[in-house]
Amino acid sequence: MRDYLLMLFITAAVTHLLTGPVRKFAITIGVVPEVRARDVHREPTPRLGGMAMFGGLLAGLLVASHLPHLEEIFTQSSTPRALLSGAALICLLGVLDDKWGVDALVKLGGQVLAAGVMVFQGLTILWLPVPGTDGIYLSDWQGTLLTVGLIVVSINAVNFVDGLDGLAAGTVGIAATAFFLYAYRLWYGYGIEAAASTTLVSAILAGMCLGFLVHNSHPARIFMGDSGSMLLGLLIAGCAVSVTGEVDPSLLSQSVDGRSGSAAMVPVYIPLIMPLSVIALPVADLVLAVIRRTWNGMSPFAADKGHLHHRLLQLGHSHRRAVLLMYFWSALFSFGIVAYSARGAKSWMLFGVAFVCAVGLFLLLQPRYESGLTRRLLPRRPRGRVVATGGKRTGADEEHRAPSR
């Protein structure tokens, strides 16, 4: 556990330290788009935050490859190499989009290419946990199609949810933490060493989100842009694919011998349920957006102002409160699945989840109330404002009193 916590903090520190220089670089080259009608923030804000997160990813993998207890992951598994290759491609695509803008179909093609590169290097879904069986093994073309589809959906789901300061980074950070706990339990709880790579990547992903969130919390000094949101979506999907691509379901079934009924099979089903739970809100937002735009005669790729976070603001929630509510539901889905995998369907757990849901619904229906806890969790701070002087954009720290996004 100490090695993984070390990776988390190293990645968070490197990401945090790189974000400042990346912000200045974005301002220098003019990656500070004007505020659009569908945007929530009020002032032009630099993007390219994904470059800092990619730097944190590189640092985490580099340090891990030299640690005695983690270096075997890089020799026995292709997951780190495959994820790094796909991450480099998707981050480059995002940088191009942040700077010049990329056509939606071209962007989709780039996402498929990045997913294909990962599949080519061995990161593929090999089996599906199906009730009543030890898992159904997939053919090569079935595994390839399913893997590419999952990665592309995850990339776009996280990209869609990136609409409020700190929302995408916090949501994915929560999901990565839940995935880390699940993968760590597979390895040390059930003795399945193949889950080691997923444990490492999820710890690094959580560190990337934590380090960037310091700069991206409301009011944000920098946005992650498509270079960051697509990178996070690819990595969280990579964690899911790694579990079903490297963990043998027969070993998982043998490790739960002695437990009866459906509870004994819970860990076998979780690799299928976990990816859906950790990105449940982003995927729901993605599906609703496609239905809404198609119903209104718009292109599914056309941007609008009808996402879940936009609706929370329309209900009257403040920026901070809307973000915390999204955090709440993400944590409920993610950690609820992890707790269920560890304890099964205990009655006290079901009552606990129902109670927490009731609390969440109460808070959702009280948009005008902002507690002291909310203000402490997301305190106001000076915003690094971008102003134009002599045709160039420079950074100047000024107090920003109006909502920024």
State whether residue 151 is helix, strand or coil. Answer: helix
The pair phi, psi for residue 395, each rounded to 5°, is -95, 135
Q: Which residue has the tokens 């220098």?
A: 28
* Res. 263: pLDDT tops 50: no
Q: Where are the domains of the chain?
A: 2-378
* Res. 292: pLDDT tops 80: no
Quick one: pLDDT at residue 285?
A: 72
Q: Are strands 136-137 and 392-398 parallel, antiparallel or unpaired?
A: unpaired
Quick one: pLDDT at residue 348?
A: 59
* Res. 211: pLDDT tops 90: yes
* Res. 95: pLDDT tops 90: yes
Burial of residue 403, with CB atoms counted within 10 A of its CB: 0-12 exposed, 13-18 middle, 19 or more buried = middle
Residue 133: band (very low, low, confident or very high) from pLDDT cuts 50, 70, 90: low
State whether residue 382 is helix, strand or coil. Answer: coil
Quick one: pLDDT at residue 393?
A: 41
Higher pLDDT, 131 or 47: 47
Mean pLDDT, range 174-187, rounded to an integer: 86
Helices H, strands E: what count in the chain?
17, 4
Cα 261–Cα 267–Cα 269 angle in degrees, nearest 5: 85
98 is in an annotated binding site: no
Question: Among 141, 120, 146, 128, which residue's Cα sits nearest to residue 247?
Answer: 128
Residue type, 49: G
Quick one: pLDDT at residue 395?
A: 41
Whole-number Å distance between alpha carbons of 277 and 272: 9
Quick one: pLDDT at residue 391?
A: 41
The rounded mean pLDDT for the chain is: 78
* Res. 33: pLDDT tops 70: yes
CB-based contact 45:223 (threshold 8 Å): yes
CA end-to-end span of the chain, whole Å?
Answer: 38
Quick one: pLDDT at residue 229?
A: 94
* Res. 327: pLDDT tops 90: no
Mean pLDDT, range 255-263, rounded to an integer: 45
Alpha carbon separation from 265 to 126, 251, 330 (Å, rounded): 19, 12, 24
Higher pLDDT, 358 or 68: 68
Question: Among 185, 205, 226, 172, which residue's Cα sits nearest to residue 49?
Answer: 226
Beta bridge partners, 386, equal 395
| pLDDT tens digits, one per residue of 223-253 | 999 999 999 999 988 988 887 776 666 666 5
Higher pLDDT, 248 or 47: 47
* Res. 29: pLDDT tops 50: yes
Quick one: pLDDT at residue 173?
A: 92
* Res. 365: pLDDT tops 80: no
Residue 187: band (very low, low, confident or very high) from pLDDT cuts 50, 70, 90: confident
159 is in an annotated binding site: yes
Quick one: pLDDT at residue 398?
A: 36
Residue 144: band (very low, low, confident or very high) from pLDDT cuts 50, 70, 90: very high
Whole-number Å distance between alpha carbons of 269 and 265: 7
